[in-house]
């Protein structure tokens, strides 16, 4: 369907210092966010990080404790939900069971007195490719079809901004992937601004032009999917968006284009421009698929990091690839993801191996992974240690 049939375009959304406190709990803290008109934006984060609260604030269903919400440049912070050009699609599609699909889609427009409600509903149903079932009841449709009706019902109002709160959560994996592609196509066709909330990193990455990774009510990092994946800035992003091998150590040299870090007695390099911090104790990382496994020690080569010898403690063959866990003394467990280029896994469990990767593929984080939760008795010790460590980092930062 041509874009012209849905003539009204999307609007910019801006959140300006939004804080939301519930009694005794701060769900959102000083959130700043700009979403360009017509973009497909994903808010990605674990359950409980504040995604739904953010959407409810934008829709006007909650009032922020502080901050402003601007839509198309207009301050809507104190307007009622129905005064905002915003529509929401939820995980449970909540269609009216006693109405036909067409009536469900036309309902909102009819109530608002639109004369061409039925024609517009047909148009929206054609967009989600369900016009041929317009006379059926929701119960006569599959889950995926019902979700598409819910989408048509939201799009038919031509909101400047469409909020999607984990709308594909109830669908099985295959249908989910299919719907992801369809949603993306529909967004391209209607040109509205989509804000899609999900805890599924693959979903966020495949659908959105821009992804914001949210953690504990804050945005940790925002960017294009490939940018977030290739250059995560925090340990949370490095591990929430795919997997990472993380190594922590002291910077021993930072003179040239690379910084060199001493990790358990080995020297590992990272490009300076890909490292957030250049002095003191830092955490660096590399994605498992960037690593190459070798049966023998490679000759040292500038531009490549080497770890080894290590031992393969697990090789999980999944057809297209094998995931290896390699124990490297003094370093820990390193994950390697190898494409199946031959016939099955190349290395057997128990094999001695060397690991190597291009320095260019590494990244340096601005923080360190949180220490794993310990028993209650250790809490005082660990928090005291964490405090000491933070003070040391602070001192080093000030020196640098
Ligand atoms: N009305 C409320 N009263 C108190 N706490 C709330 C309320 N709504 C949400 N929360 C809390 O705010 C946090 C974020 O919730 P939510 O935005 O629903 O997270 P998400 O959608 O990312 O899973 C959660 O810890 C939740 O318990
Ligand atoms: Mg939620």
Instruction: Identify the residue whose C-alpha is closest to ligand 1 atom 9.
Output: 53
Instruction: Identify the residue whose C-alpha is closest to ligand 1 atom 24.
Output: 48
Q: How far apart are CA 290 and CA 384, in angstroms?
A: 36
User: What's phi and psi for 65, nearest 5 deg?
Assistant: -70, -35
CA of 50 to the centre of ligand 1 (A): 6
pLDDT at position 143: 85
Which atom of ligand 1 is nearest to 49's Cα?
22
* pLDDT digits (tens), the chain, 400 positions: 433 344 456 789 999 999 999 999 999 999 999 999 999 999 999 999 999 999 999 999 999 999 999 999 999 999 999 899 998 888 777 899 999 999 999 998 999 899 999 999 999 999 888 999 999 999 999 888 898 899 899 888 888 899 999 988 877 888 788 888 888 888 888 888 999 999 999 999 999 999 999 999 999 999 999 999 999 999 999 999 999 999 999 999 998 999 999 999 999 999 999 999 999 999 999 999 999 999 999 999 999 999 999 999 999 999 999 999 999 999 999 999 999 888 777 889 999 999 999 999 999 999 999 876 554 434 444 445 555 555 655 555 555 5
Q: How far apart are CA 90 and CA 92, in angstroms?
A: 5
pLDDT at position 2: 39
Range 3-230 has CATH code 2.30.110.10:
no
CATH of 242-371, one of 3.40.50.720, 2.40.50.140, 2.40.160.40, 3.40.50.300: 2.40.50.140
Residue spans of the domains in the chain: they are 3-230, 242-371
236 alpha carbon, distance to own chain's centre: 11
Instruction: Identify the residue whose C-alpha is closest to ligand 1 atom 4.
Output: 22
Instruction: Identify the residue whose C-alpha is closest to ligand 1 atom 10.
Output: 27
Please, are residues 71 and 84 in contact by the beta-carbon 8 Å criterion? yes
pLDDT at position 341: 87
Helices and strands, number each (H, E), in the chain: 9, 20
Q: DSSP of 27-46, one letter per residue?
A: EEEEEEEEE-TT-EEEEE--
Specify the pTM: 0.85
pLDDT at position 375: 45
pLDDT at position 373: 58
Name the nearest CA neighbour of 359 among 292, 288, 240, 271.
Answer: 271
pLDDT at position 377: 39
Question: Would you call 53 helix, strand, or coil by DSSP?
Answer: helix
Question: In this structure, which residues have their CB less than 5 angstroms from ion ligand 2?
Answer: 51-52
User: Which tokens is 67 given?
Assistant: 């901050």
Q: How far apart are CA 51 and CA 354, in angstroms?
A: 42
pLDDT at position 379: 42
From residue 228, alpha-carbon distances to 97, 220, 223, 287 in Å are: 42, 10, 6, 12
Torsion of CA 165, 170, 175, 181, to 10 degrees: 0
pLDDT at position 180: 87
CA of 279 to the centre of ligand 2 (A): 39
DSSP E strands in the chain: the ranges are: 13-22, 25-35, 40-44, 66-71, 74-75, 86-89, 161-165, 193-198, 210-215, 218-223, 245-253, 258-263, 266-271, 281-286, 292-294, 304-317, 321-328, 332-339, 352-358, 363-364
CA of 1 to the centre of ligand 1 (A): 38
Pocket of ligand 1 (CB under 6 A): 22, 25, 27, 45, 47-53
User: Which tokens is 89 given?
Assistant: 């699609």
Instruction: Identify the residue whose C-alpha is closest to ligand 1 atom 27.
Output: 48
């Amino acid at each position: 369907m041509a874009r012209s049939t849905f003539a009204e375009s999307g609007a910019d959304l801006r959140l300006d210092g939004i804080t939301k406190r519930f009694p005794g709990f701060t769900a959102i803290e000083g959130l700043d966010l700009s979403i360009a008109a017509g973009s497909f934006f994903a808010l990605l984060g674990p359950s409980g990080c504040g995604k739904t609260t953010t959407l409810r604030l934008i829709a006007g269903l909650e009032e922020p404790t502080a901050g402003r919400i601007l839509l198309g440049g207009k301050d809507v912070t104190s307007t009622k939900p129905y005064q905002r050009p915003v529509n929401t699609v939820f995980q449970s599609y909540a269609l009216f069971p006693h109405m036909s699909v067409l009536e469900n889609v036309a309902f909102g427009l009819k109530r608002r007195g639109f004369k061409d409600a039925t024609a517009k509903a047909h148009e929206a149903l054609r967009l989600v490719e369900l016009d041929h079932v317009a006379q059926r009841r929701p119960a006569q449709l599959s889950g995926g079809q019902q979700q598409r009706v819910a989408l048509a019902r939201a799009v038919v109002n031509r909101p400047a901004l469409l909020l999607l709160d984990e709308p594909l959560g109830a669908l099985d994996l295959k249908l989910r992937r299919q719907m992801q592609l369809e949603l993306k196509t529909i967004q391209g066709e209607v040109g509205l601004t989509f804000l899609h909330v999900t805890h599924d990193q693959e979903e966020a990455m495949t659908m959105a032009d821009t992804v914001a990774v949210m953690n504990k009510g804050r945005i940790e990092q925002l960017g294009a999917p490939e940018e977030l994946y290739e250059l995560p800035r925090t340990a949370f992003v490095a591990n929430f968006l795919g997997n990472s091998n993380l190594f922590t150590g002291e910077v021993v040299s930072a003179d040239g284009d690379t910084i060199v870090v001493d990790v358990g007695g080995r020297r590992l390099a990272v490009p300076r421009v890909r490292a957030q911090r250049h002095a003191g104790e830092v955490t660096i990382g590399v994605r498992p698929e960037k690593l190459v496994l070798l049966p023998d020690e490679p000759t040292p080569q500038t531009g490549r990091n080497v770890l080894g010898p290590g031992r393969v403690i697990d090789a999980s063959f999944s057809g297209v690839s094998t995931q290896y866990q390699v124990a490297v003394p003094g370093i820990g467990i390193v994950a390697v993801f190898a494409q199946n280029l031959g016939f099955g896994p190349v290395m057997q469990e128990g094999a001695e191996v060397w690991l190597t990767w291009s320095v260019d593929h590494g990244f340096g984080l601005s923080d360190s992974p949180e220490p794993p939760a310990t028993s209650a008795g250790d809490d005082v010790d660990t928090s005291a240690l964490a405090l000491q460590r933070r003070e040391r980092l602070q001192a080093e930062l000030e020196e640098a």
